[in-house]
Structure 1
């Protein structure tokens, strides 16, 4: 076996685990988005009082529903809640 052939085979073997890892990461990410979308749909069943307890309002759910299918809506909801909390804290600091 020539050195070039050996190097070529070694590179092919090295590419296989990297491809498998990327494929597994993609499948894992898709499964996580699917789970989060399923959990997100359960939020619609909550009352306004229950939503308020976790820092959401019904319009937040409508906003997050409008994003693309492959995108995780819970990330957008987390961002909305975080922004709302920061705004309230900022107002509270200014008032003190």
Structure 2
């Protein structure tokens, strides 16, 4: 499994999100409750960037129609989305955030 450095921990706002690219894949990094998570940065309902939405608890909310996703599992927690989004592995090395596109199971 290969990890790619995508940013510094401090680049991700607390209770916020940051959109990055890993190769050609859009990734939404979410920092909430002291943890950093990585999910696919495209809403499964409306195909817009989740990194532009709101973050609370372990949830990212799509800014367009309000679909909510649990960033730990990728599962939708609020309509109108019904399909989950991919969740990616995150590793912290010092101040660096690394992401692997290998999906968590």
Which TM-score bucket, shorter chain as reference?
Answer: under 0.3
- More strand as a share of residues: 2
| TM-score, length basis structure 2 | 0.25
| TM-score, length basis structure 1 | 0.26
Bigger RCO (CA 8 Å, 6+ sep): 2
- More helix as a share of residues: 1
